[in-house]
Amino acid sequence: MDLAELLQRAQRLANDTEMETDLPRVERTLSQVLQATNELHARVTQAGTNDLQAHILLGSKGVDLPKLTQKLESLTASNSLEPLDPIEDTDVRGYLKNERENAILAVIDEANTNITTTVERQKWRSVYSEWGNMKESLLNALVGPSQQDFPDMQRQKVATELPDEPTPFSRLSYFETLYAKEITSYNESHIQGGHRTNLVATFANLAKSFDDPLVTEMWNVLYCMANETPMSRNIDPIQSRQSAPKFIQKARTYLERRYKIYMNAVTEKNLVLAKRGGIPSLYNLVCSYVGVEFQHSHSLTGLLNVDNNGKPLWPHVYYSLRCGDQAAAVQFLKESGTCPELLKLMMLKRLGDTSTSEISSTAKLEGQLKLDYNNKLRICSDPYKKAVYAIVLACDPHDGHGELIRTIDDFLWMQLSILREQENRDYNIEQLTYGGLQSLILEKYGENYFNAREKGPLYFQVLILTGQFESAIEFLARSNIMHAVHMAIALNEICLLGTPKSVMQPLLSAEPDDPAPMKRLNLVRLVVMYAKGFEKTDTAQALQYYYLLRHFKTEDRGPNAMLTCVCDLLVENCDDNMLALIFGDEDEANSNRFTGGIFAEFQTMDYDMYSLAGMVGDELSDRSNYESAIKLYYIAGHLNKALRLVCSLLSQVVHQPSRPGSMRERLTHVIQRLDASLVERKTDVQSHVMITYTTLARLMEFFDLVHAGKTRLASEILTNNRLVPSNSTEVDECVTNLKRMGPEINKVLPDVIMEAMNIVYAEYLEQRGGGGPDSGNVVDDTQNENREAVLHHLRGRAKALTNMAASVPYRMPAAINQRLVQLEILML
C-alpha cells in the first residue's frame, strides 16, 4: 500500500466521523495532544486523588461545587466569645458593646458553674445513699431479720431444759412422711401375703393432696402410661416396652383427652358462637369448636372443601381425629360425599378386620392414596386436608404442619399419630418409628430445645409420653428427688422400669443390647441417695425403702442390695442404741435370742436378722473395728469368730491394770456374756480357739491379782494352768502346751514370765530375810534346813523360768531376758 492510498483512506475515515454541531472544530497535532495530556495529568496529580473522588461524588449527587465553595469561603468563625479588644475611653459605642458582651459572658459562666456544682452534689448524694443502703443490708444480714420484717411469723422458743432421753428430730418433710407411710403400708401388705396395690395409682391419688398442679399432672401422666398389670420379673421391661404398641396408644389417648378438655373450655367461653345444642357428643363438640375457630368468613380462605352451609370439611375431620373420635371423622366424610377412597380406608382401619383379603385390600388402597398424596397433596393449600391424609396414611414425618401445630402437645400427638411399627415399615416412603421419635426428643432436640431448666415438668411429660421412663426420672431427680424416687419405685414394683445388671453402674446407663436411645436407671443408687438423708434419724422408714431393693443382686457383698444397704448403715452407726433398734434386746430366758428389733419384720427364708448380724460383723472385722464386730458376732451366734477377736484384743491389754472406761474393762463385760453363752454352745467353738480364750481369761485373773498384791493366789493360777514351769523338768511340757494354743499367748508370754519371776524373787527375799544369826531369835538346825530347801526350790523355779524364756519359739524382748538373768543371779 502506497502513501497516496493511505492518505485517501484517512480522509475518508475523518469524513465519516464528522458531526454536524455548532461547536468549532479543533485540530491538534500529536505534540499538542501530548502537551494537553501532560498538563491534565499534572493538575490531577497536584489536586490529589481524594479531592478528585470527592468532586466526582458530589457532582453525581447534583451539588453545585462552585457555589458551595463561595459559601464556605464567606463563612467566618464567630468571635463573640473571644477576649474583647481594649478600646479608648472616649469610644462610647465600643464601651457599651463590650459591657453588653461582658454581661452575657458572665451569665453564661455563672450558669455553667452552678450546673457543674449541682451535678457534683447530686452525684455524691446518690453515691452516699447507695453505700448506706448496702451497709444497712449487710448489717441486717449479720444480726438476722427483725420481727417487723415477718409480722406473721411467730418465733420458736427453744427449751432451756433438755429431756433425759432426747430423741432426734425427724429429717422427713411433710410430703416425704406421706410417701413413707404409703411405702410402709405397701411393704406390710406384701410381708403378710395380702393383695398388693398399684403404687402408681396410690401415689397419683396422694399427689392430689400436695396442692401442686404440676406435680399432680406429672403423676397423672405416669399413671396413664403405666396403668398396667404387673409383669414378670423375668421379662426385660425395655424390650417389652419398645415392642408393645399399647404405650403409643396410651400416649395418644392422654393427649386426646387433654385436647378434648381444652375444646370444651373454648366452647364454654364462647357459647354464642359455639351454638351448642342437641345430644352431647364429640360430633357436636367438634362442630361447636370449629364454629368458634372459624367465626369469620375470611378464615375459610385456602380451604378447598366447604359444604353448603359454609362449614369447612377438613377442620371437622382433623379436630375429630385430634380428640380421638374416628367415628365422628368418618361421619363428616360421609356427609360431605367426598374422598370415598379415604373414607373406605378409615372405615377398614376402624373395624380392624384381620382377614387376609381385607389386609391385602387395605394395603392396596393405602398404597394408592400414598401415591395421590405424594403427587398432589404435598402442595395442597388446605393444611387440614394435608394433615388428615398424613395421619391416616402415617407418612411424611418431615412436614411440620406449622399452620396447625401450636403447642408441644399438638406436635407430640402428630408424631405419635404417624408412627409405624419397625416390622411394618413401608420402605417405599420415609416413615417414623417409635425409636426414631424417642431419639428425636431426647438427642436431637434435648433439654435446651424444651427449655428444661425453666419448664422441667413439661420436658418430663414429653419423655414419659414417648416411653422413656428412665431418662424422665433421672432428669426429675436432679431437681426433685423426692418425687423421682417414688416414681421409680412404683414403676419397678410393676416391672416397668429398666434397671442395669450391675448395681455399681451410674444412675443412668445403657446396655449394649438395648435399642437406641433407651437408657437404664440404677434404682439402688437412687434409693440410697434418697434414704441416706434420713436413715440416722428415721431408721425404721429407711429400712422400709431398703426392703424394696431385696430383688437386686450384688456382686461381692451380701445376697441382695437390701442387706448391703442395712449393713452399710450399721457399719457407719454401730452404737448400742442402733443395735438395739435394729436387732432388739437380748431375751432373758434365752441369751442366744434377741426380740423387739425392727429388722425382725423383714426376715424371710433367704435371710434373717442373724445372717445380717454376721454380715455386719465380717465388714467391721475387715475394717479392724473389733469391739463392734464382737457385738455383732455375739448377736449372730458366731461365737468362734467372736472368741478369735476377743483373744486378739486381750493379748494387747491383758497385762495392763484395769482403768474405768478402758478397753480392758469393756472386755471384762464381754467375757462375762461370752462365758454365759459358752455354757450352752461350747461345741460351736474350735478346740484351739477355746483353749486360747480360756488361757487368756485366766491370765486376766492372774494380772488382776498381781496388780492387787495377791501374789500367792496369782501364783496358784499359773501352777494350776501349767503356763510356767515349777522346775527345770517341766520346761518341755510347758513349751508343748504353748504350741497347742494360739499365737495370742506368745504375745503376752514375756509379761507372764516376768511377773512370775518377780513373784519368785519376792518370795525369795521374804524367805531369806525371815531369820538369821543377828535377828536375836534362836533358830534350830531343822528350821535352817527347811529354809534352805525353800530357797533352793525358788532358785530352781527361777532357773526354769529363764530356761523357758530361752526355749519358747518366740523371740523374747532383750530387756525381759536381761531382767530375768539379773534376778536369777541375785538369787544365787
pLDDT given for residue 673 in this prediction:
85
Q: How many helices (H) and strands (E) are present in the chain, helices listed first?
A: 37, 4
Q: 200 and 304 share a domain?
A: no
Identify which of 101-105, 423-427, 775-779 has the greatest average pLDDT. 101-105
Q: 386 and 286 share a domain?
A: yes
* C-beta of residue 333 within 8 angstroms of C-beta of residue 325: no
How far is it, in rounded angstroms, from Cα 547 to Cα 563? 9
Summarize pLDDT for 72-127 with one digit per residue, the tens.
777 655 554 455 556 666 788 888 888 899 999 999 999 999 999 999 999 999 99
- What is the number of other CB atoms lying within 10 angstroms of the CB of residue 404? 17
Write the CA distances from 521 to 9, 396, 437, 456, 475, integer angstroms: 100, 34, 20, 19, 11
Residue 364 has pLDDT above 90, yes or no: no
How far is it, in rounded angstroms, from Cα 626 to Cα 645? 6
How far is it, in rounded angstroms, from Cα 341 to Cα 347? 10
Q: Dihedrals φ, ψ of 536, to 5°?
A: -80, -35
Q: Is residue 295 part of a domain?
A: yes
- pLDDT category at 481 given cuts 50, 70, 90 is very high
| 11-20, 150-159, 451-460, 671-680: least confident range | 150-159
Q: 203 and 295 share a domain?
A: no
End-to-end CA distance of the chain: 160
| 1-5, 589-593, 606-610: least confident range | 589-593
Residue 490 has pLDDT above 90, yes or no: yes
Mean pLDDT (the chain, rounded): 82
748: which 3 cell numbers? 503376752
How far is it, in rounded angstroms, from Cα 632 to Cα 565? 16
Q: Is residue 653 part of a domain?
A: no
Write the CA distances from 55 to 74, 153, 188, 213, integer angstroms: 20, 80, 99, 74
Write the CA distances from 188 to 181, 467, 483, 550, 596, integer angstroms: 11, 31, 22, 14, 17
One-letter identity of residue 356: T
Residue among 735, 729, 703, 733 at smallest CA distance from 718? 703
Q: Is residue 136 part of a domain?
A: no
* C-beta of residue 630 within 8 angstroms of C-beta of residue 667: no
Q: Which residues contact residue 59 at a Cβ distance below 8 angstroms, ignoring those fewer than 6 apart?
A: 65
How far is it, in rounded angstroms, from Cα 287 to Cα 701? 100
* C-beta of residue 292 within 8 angstroms of C-beta of residue 266: yes
Residue 775 has pLDDT above 80, yes or no: no
- pLDDT category at 789 given cuts 50, 70, 90 is confident
Q: 278 and 409 share a domain?
A: yes
How far is it, in rounded angstroms, from Cα 588 to Cα 578? 20
pLDDT given for residue 766 in this prediction:
85
Half-sphere exposure of 433 (CA within 13 A, CB side): 17
Q: Which long-range contacts (CB under 8 A, 24 or more apart) does 301-307 make?
A: 302/381, 302/382, 302/383, 303/382, 303/384, 304/380, 304/381, 304/382, 304/385, 305/336, 305/338, 305/382, 305/385, 307/335, 307/336
Q: 274 and 188 share a domain?
A: no
How far is it, in rounded angstroms, from Cα 643 to Cα 521? 44
Q: Which helix (H) or strand (E) holds 479?
A: helix 469-479
Q: Is residue 292 part of a domain?
A: yes
pLDDT given for residue 19 in this prediction:
56
Domain count for the chain: 3
Residue 48 has pLDDT above 60, yes or no: no
- pLDDT category at 774 given cuts 50, 70, 90 is very low
pLDDT given for residue 428 in this prediction:
44
Select the more confidently predicted residue: 385 or 41. Answer: 385
| 18-22, 685-689, 741-745: least confident range | 18-22
How far is it, in rounded angstroms, from Cα 46 to Cα 43? 5
pLDDT given for residue 771 in this prediction:
47
pLDDT given for residue 525 in this prediction:
94
| 37-46, 133-142, 531-540: least confident range | 37-46
| 175-179, 423-427, 557-561, 797-801: least confident range | 423-427
Q: 525 and 405 share a domain?
A: no
How far is it, in rounded angstroms, from Cα 796 to Cα 790? 10
Averaged pLDDT for residues 348-370:
71
| 301-305, 406-410, 460-464, 808-812: least confident range | 301-305
Q: Which residues contact residue 229 at a Cβ distance below 8 angstroms, ignoring those fewer than 6 apart?
A: 494
Angle between helices 383-393 and 356-375 (to 10 degrees): 150
Q: 266 and 379 share a domain?
A: yes
Helix, strand, coil % in the chain, rounded to nearest 5:
65, 0, 30
Question: At which of 416, 449, 467 does a domain end?
Answer: 416
Q: Is residue 791 part of a domain?
A: yes
Write the CA distances from 450 to 142, 441, 455, 461, 654, integer angstroms: 41, 9, 7, 11, 70
Domain coverage including residue 795: 690-771+780-826
Summarize pLDDT for 202-238 with one digit per residue, the tens.
999 999 998 899 999 999 999 999 887 777 778 888 9
Angle between helices 576-583 and 609-622 (to 10 degrees): 150
- pLDDT category at 159 given cuts 50, 70, 90 is low
The pTM is what?
Answer: 0.71
Q: 396 and 266 share a domain?
A: yes
Q: Is residue 591 part of a domain?
A: no
Q: Which residues partner with 596 through β-bridges? A: 584
Q: Is residue 401 part of a domain?
A: yes
Residue 746 has pLDDT above 90, yes or no: no
Residue 499 CA to its chain's centroid (Å): 16
Residue 34 has pLDDT above 60, yes or no: yes
Q: Dihedrals φ, ψ of 306, to 5°?
A: -130, 130
3 state DSSP class of 551: coil
Half-sphere exposure of 759 (CA within 13 A, CB side): 27
761: which 3 cell numbers? 524373787
How far is it, in rounded angstroms, from Cα 111 to Cα 680? 111
Residue 37 has pLDDT above 60, yes or no: yes
Q: Which helix (H) or strand (E) holds 483?
A: helix 481-493
- pLDDT category at 339 given cuts 50, 70, 90 is confident
Q: 265 and 241 share a domain?
A: no
Select the more confidently predicted residue: 330 or 77. Answer: 330
Q: 375 and 443 share a domain?
A: no
How far is it, in rounded angstroms, from Cα 259 to Cα 286? 11
Q: Which residues contact residue 409 at a Cβ distance below 8 angstroms, ignoring those fewer than 6 apart?
A: 255, 258, 259
Averaged pLDDT for residues 321-341:
86
Question: At which of 381, 416, 451 does a domain end?
Answer: 416
One-letter identity of residue 343: L
pLDDT given for residue 83 in this prediction:
54
3 state DSSP class of 584: strand
701: which 3 cell numbers? 485373773
Angle 366-370-373 (CA atoms, 0-180°, nearest 5)?
Answer: 140
Angle between helices 456-465 and 246-269 (to 10 degrees): 130
Q: Which helix (H) or strand (E) holds 231?
A: none
- What is the number of other CB atoms lying within 10 angstroms of the CB of residue 707? 14
Residue 425 has pLDDT above 60, yes or no: no
Q: Find out whether the peptide bond into 83 is cis, omega within 30 degrees of 0.
A: no
Pair type for strands 584-586 and 520-521: unpaired
Q: Dihedrals φ, ψ of 335, to 5°?
A: -65, -35
pLDDT given for residue 427 in this prediction:
45
pLDDT given for residue 71 in this prediction:
75
pLDDT given for residue 168 in this prediction:
63
Sign of CA dihedral 391, 394, 400, 405: positive
Residue 250 has pLDDT above 50, yes or no: yes
Q: Is residue 635 part of a domain?
A: no
Q: 315 and 356 share a domain?
A: yes
Residue among 368, 319, 312, 362 at smallest CA distance from 335? 312
* C-beta of residue 465 within 8 angstroms of C-beta of residue 224: no
How far is it, in rounded angstroms, from Cα 622 to Cα 619? 5
- pLDDT category at 39 given cuts 50, 70, 90 is confident
pLDDT given for residue 207 in this prediction:
92
700: which 3 cell numbers? 486376766
Summarize pLDDT for 543-556 with one digit per residue, the tens.
999 999 988 988 76
Q: Which residues partner with 419 through β-bridges? A: 432
Residue count (the chain) = 828
Q: 695 and 804 share a domain?
A: yes
Residue among 561, 601, 565 at smallest CA distance from 583? 601
Q: Could you give the percent of the chain with pLDDT greater than 70?
A: 84
Largest CA distance in the chain: 187
Angle 242-248-250 (CA atoms, 0-180°, nearest 5)?
Answer: 125
Three-state SS letters, 178-194: HHHHHHHHHHHHHHCCC
Residue 773 has pLDDT above 50, yes or no: no
How far is it, in rounded angstroms, from Cα 598 to Cα 595? 9
How far is it, in rounded angstroms, from Cα 614 to Cα 630? 10
Averaged pLDDT for residues 423-444:
74
Select the more confidently predicted residue: 322 or 591. Answer: 322
